[in-house]
Amino acid sequence: MSNHSKREFTLEPENIERLANLAGPFDAHLRQIELRLGVEIANRGHVFRVTGPDKAVKATEKLLHALYEEADSETFDNEAIHLRLNQANVDHLAAGGFEPQEVSIKVKRGTVRGRGHNQASYLHAIATHDINFGIGPAGTGKTFLAVASAVEALNEARVQRLVLVRPAVEAGEKLGFLPGDLSQKVDPYLRPLYDALYEMLGVEKVVKLLEKNVIEIAPLAYMRGRTLNDAFVILDEAQNTSIEQMKMFLTRIGYGSTAVVTGDMTQIDLPKHQKSGLKDALEVLNGVNGISFTFFGSRDVVRHPLVARIVQAYDARDSKDAETGPA
């Protein structure tokens, strides 16, 4: 792990407007840099102090000087800072083994933080990557934390809309036999997303945002042919996508958008001969720059303690079957 250091420097010439442009509203741009580089930035006026791993601290100082100079002639937004971070090629510093900055999310119910290392890493990844995969068993917070991140992005106007998507695959129940029209038939598959939204925003606000189409909840099939700009897109239950559907979904992502793909590889409801699009994506996209993968295990389960033990029991049985063949 890198040695930690602290550097203090002054951005010159002093100019309040340039400083405000660099820092962003409520220091949002500085927070963005902190998260991406794994440092802490404090300032009193034009005097800055950066703390963190040596290489990251030096890179941050260099970046802040460059941004301050540019702030004289260009107005920054989150997208512009994101582009400057990409151009500065800082992602190799993020692989240096530092402890990620804690991401805390403010929603109606209070503040949401990651419980344990994997959840904290997941929230950090969502804050710093455009496409994110969260893979693991039920009860690990994959969907809940993704929805919390989406709600915060909407509240802070970092995105214009939320698009929550699920494949309508029947887990033993036939859609045709469910009562009602298409939206009512699909509704049970989307219920977990509604529940998370209600908890974050309250029922009344969710209903208003759905009416205004600021929040859209849709089956995956409705995504074909669309490009989603300035949106936070969540694909839930992604283990039930086909390879073609997964590719289609990932290529919908437009400029200024964040996508989170969640799924549980042990809960695939596709026909036996069909390969999961999620499994295929893990193989194809592993190592692609700008895409994050967070893997959860039974120890990350935050529901009733029995849920973790149930997951472990099934994992043990599946491991035994893989070695000896099913009974």
Digits of tens for pLDDT over the chain (327 positions)?
447 789 999 999 999 999 999 999 888 899 888 888 888 899 999 999 999 888 889 999 999 999 999 999 999 987 788 778 877 766 656 544 445 556 777 666 667 777 778 888 899 889 888 899 999 988 888 998 999 999 988 988 889 999 999 887 544 444 454 455 444 544 566 777 788 888 888 889 999 999 999 999 888 888 888 888 899 999 999 999 999 999 999 998 888 899 999 999 988 888 888 999 999 999 999 888 889 999 998 778 776 667 677 877 888 888 887 777 665
CATH number of residue 58's parent domain? 3.30.1370.10
CATH number of residue 226's parent domain? 3.40.50.300
Check whether residue 8 and residue 136 sit in a common domain. Answer: no
pLDDT, residue 174, reads 47
Say how far residue 197 (Cα) sits from the centre of its chain: 16
Kindly state whether residue 19 falls inside one of the protein's structural domains: yes
Check whether residue 77 and residue 115 sit in a common domain. Answer: no
pLDDT, residue 100, reads 53
Buried b (16+ CB within 10 A) or exposed e, 26-44: eeebbbbbbbbbbbebebe
Check whether residue 133 and residue 15 sit in a common domain. Answer: no
Indicate the residue type of 5.
Answer: S
Kindly state whether residue 90 falls inside one of the protein's structural domains: yes
207 neighbors 194 (Cβ within 8 angstroms): no
Check whether residue 227 and residue 292 sit in a common domain. Answer: yes
Kindly state whether residue 125 falls inside one of the protein's structural domains: yes
Check whether residue 75 and residue 127 sit in a common domain. Answer: no
The range of the structural domain enclosing residue 137 comes to 108-324
In the chain, the number of structural domains is 2
Kindly state whether residue 260 falls inside one of the protein's structural domains: yes
Boundary residue ending a domain (29, 64, 94)? 94
pLDDT, residue 93, reads 61
Check whether residue 172 and residue 275 sit in a common domain. Answer: yes
Compute the distance between CA of residue 296 and CA of residue 117 in angstroms, rounded to an integer.
Answer: 10
Check whether residue 185 and residue 318 sit in a common domain. Answer: yes
Kindly state whether residue 101 falls inside one of the protein's structural domains: no
Compute the distance between CA of residue 60 and CA of residue 29 in angstroms, rounded to an integer.
Answer: 12
